[in-house]
Amino acid sequence: MAKAIRDGTARLDDCLVIKHKSKVGSSLTVDSSDVPLQPFVSEVIRRTVLGMVSTLKWISIKGDEHVHIDIRSKGEPLES
């Protein structure tokens, strides 16, 4: 897609990942870089994480939660 946009045969608006970004229920960041997720992959991640979290005591899942996963290199400080 990036090559097609650069070559002028596609527009940025044609990118499905960007077009559906506001509709996805999870996001993934690896070493401070956002990883683009298609809606299906985003939903698989969201439902898997929420399923695991819902088994914890005192946790109530409504089903409309957004999941953000931030993967960092060892020793990288957390933002405060």
Tens digit of pLDDT for each residue in 38-69?
888 889 999 999 999 999 999 888 888 889 99
User: Which residue ranges make up each domain of the chain?
Assistant: 23-74
Contact 39, 23 (CB under 8 A): yes
Sign of the C-alpha dihedral computed for residues 6, 11, 16 and 22 taken in this order = positive
Residue 70, pLDDT score: 93
Residue type, 40: F
Tens of pLDDT, residues 14-36: 776 666 555 668 889 999 888 88
Reported as a pLDDT band with limits 50, 70 and 90, residue 11 is confident
Phi-psi label, residue 63: left if phi above 0, alpha if psi -120 to 50, beta otherwise: left
pTM of structure:
0.64
